[in-house]
Amino acid sequence: MSKILTTEGLPLETSLKKVEQKNKFRAFLLVLPLLLFLIVAYVWPILNLLTRSVDNRLISDLLPQTAIALSNWEGNELPSEDIYKIFYLDLNEAHKQKLSGKVSTRLNYAKNGFKSLINKTRRKLKNFEDGNYKDQFIDLNKKWGDIEYWQAMKVAMPKYTIDKYLGSVDLEKNYSGEIIQKPEKRRIHRTLWYRTFYVALGVTICCLLLAYPIAHLLSTLPLRYSNLLLICVLLPFWTSLLVRTSSWMILLQQQGVLNDILVYFKIVGDKSRLELMYNMTGTFVAMTQILLPFMVLPLYSVMKTIPPSLMRAGSSLGGTPFHSFRKIYFPLTYPGIGAGSLLVFILAIGYYITPALVGGASGTLISNRIAYHMKETLDWSMASAMGTMLLVSVLVLYWLYNKILGIDNIKLG
């Protein structure tokens, strides 16, 4: 059997393949500008952030010889004279290059007290005489004879480290490399992770409970009424997040509208106004209202497609309304429930603005802590490590969303 040929004399199969290749290339070319732009200006910076979380080269670049010497040191007893000498030379070099401030800041992350120790020492470096550095250091400040400082320095030295990840779940490494719990009063992060998770879960459940009935109502009403009611969902959706947060601040503050109403109806006394803001309550209520549209819209778009005849069929076959709802209607809304819940959970877990404004001290979440490390303590590696962990949890959920519902099924408005 001879092959089918095109007018140019090529086999049809090759010719078609060629065209397909061309089309593939053309489609890819259209996506390319955005893809390149995102990879350069977004994906790459994020990957960079991830490496920042394990990158610890700063300190070993500042004190290169000490890093090597300490890695060979057992850590059971005070370092030998040689190590003191090497440390003196490194520190002196760093001081000459005006980098000793960085050394002190960095070592202070490893152990509190290092900052003042280094700062006191560096001013005296010029008075050091050759020989017997160990005694000179210890005479200068007896902390240099405290093995804990040397152990902390040893732990801080490796070029790449997972210390920041341990730190973000309140663990640390001791000098012999074992992973141990941080002292009780310095454990702050784990509470925040739990809190973030519980708030996100709680907000998701509350949103689902509130959104389900109204999405159902919207999908069963005649279009002219449902369009009107849909505005109640879409207007908050389109309104600035800060506007909505400020409206909650007006409502919830102690001299605020909600307390005024409660006092007016004598439910609470004027002296005992409720504290609704700057705590968990504020964060929770405000986040629920702000994220509610993200639950209603996917639920509504699924419920719209369920024919009402199914429920009628259920009752004509003798099911009570509740029974038919549970057996027929509810299972059909699973895709909407899944989409809405994942969306709300993903958004809630990374929430920053609302907790920062209405959360006070007890209502802040992990994002606020990341911002705190970025802007206040300037411990950027810590911020990156916590950011990475948050990112990974979000990406897992995103992958789940993609797997279950398909990312191209996201609908807006």
- By CB under 8 A, the residues from 236 to 255 that bind other proteins are 236, 238-251, 253, 255
In sequence order, what DSSP letters do the residues of 75-114 get, joined into one string?
A: SSSPPPHHHHHHHHHHHHHHHHTT-HHHHHHHHHHHSTTH
> Pick from 326, 147, 298: which is nearest to 233 by CA?
298
Closest separation between CB of residue 370 and other proteins, Å?
5
Token pair, residue 382, equals: 């810590």
Q: Please, which residue, 6 or 254, has the CB nearer to other proteins?
A: 254
Q: Please, which residue, 54 or 233, has the CB nearer to other proteins?
A: 233
Residue with tokens 């409720």: 274
Q: What is the DSSP letter of 9?
A: S
Region binding other proteins by CB under 8 A among candidate stretches 7-15, 183-191, 234-242, 332-340: 234-242
Q: Please, which residue, 161 or 388, has the CB nearer to other proteins?
A: 388
Token pair, residue 90, equals: 């490194």
Count of other CB atoms within 10 angstroms of residue 288 = 21
**Binding of other proteins by 131 (CB under 8 A):** no
Q: Please, which residue, 63 or 349, has the CB nearer to other proteins?
A: 349
Q: Are 283 and 199 in contact (CB under 8 A)?
A: yes
> Pick from 201, 236, 248: which is nearest to 354 by CA?
248
Binders in 331-350 for other proteins, by CB under 8 A: 346, 349-350
Q: Are 370 and 386 in contact (CB under 8 A)?
A: yes
**Binding of other proteins by 63 (CB under 8 A):** no
Q: Please, which residue, 5 or 257, has the CB nearer to other proteins?
A: 257
Which of helix, strand or coil describes residue 171? strand
Cross-strand pairs, 55: 160
Q: What is the DSSP letter of 63?
A: S
Token pair, residue 170, equals: 């309140």
Count of other CB atoms within 10 angstroms of residue 78 = 15
Binders in 199-228 for other proteins, by CB under 8 A: 210-211, 213-214, 217, 223
- Ranges of H-type helices in 141-185: 147-156, 163-167
Closest separation between CB of residue 106 and other proteins, Å?
18
Region binding other proteins by CB under 8 A among candidate stretches 58-66, 140-148, 163-171, 235-243: 235-243
Region binding other proteins by CB under 8 A among candidate stretches 65-73, 81-89, 181-189, 233-241: 233-241
> What are the backbone dihedrals phi and psi of residue 161, each rounded to the nearest 5 degrees, phi first?
-150, 150
Distance CA 111, CA 149 (A): 7
Closest separation between CB of residue 25 and other proteins, Å?
9
Closest separation between CB of residue 38 and other proteins, Å?
6
**Binding of other proteins by 352 (CB under 8 A):** yes
Binders in 276-315 for other proteins, by CB under 8 A: 289, 292-293, 311
**Binding of other proteins by 371 (CB under 8 A):** yes
**Binding of other proteins by 326 (CB under 8 A):** no
**Binding of other proteins by 147 (CB under 8 A):** no
Binders in 5-34 for other proteins, by CB under 8 A: 20, 23-24, 26-34
Q: Please, which residue, 177 or 213, has the CB nearer to other proteins?
A: 213
> Pick from 92, 93, 98: which is nearest to 126 by CA?
92
Q: Please, which residue, 141 or 368, has the CB nearer to other proteins?
A: 368
**Binding of other proteins by 52 (CB under 8 A):** yes
Q: Please, which residue, 1 or 31, has the CB nearer to other proteins?
A: 31
Closest separation between CB of residue 151 and other proteins, Å?
31
Distance CA 127, CA 51 (A): 40
Q: Please, which residue, 280 or 311, has the CB nearer to other proteins?
A: 311
> Pick from 65, 64, 99: which is nearest to 82 by CA?
65
Closest separation between CB of residue 129 and other proteins, Å?
43
Q: Please, which residue, 15 or 92, has the CB nearer to other proteins?
A: 15
Distance CA 169, CA 191 (A): 9
Q: Please, which residue, 64 or 256, has the CB nearer to other proteins?
A: 256
> Pick from 304, 159, 167: which is nearest to 226 by CA?
304
Applying CB under 8 A, among 67, 370, 382, 385 the residue interacting with other proteins is 370
Distance CA 319, CA 307 (A): 17
Closest separation between CB of residue 377 and other proteins, Å?
14
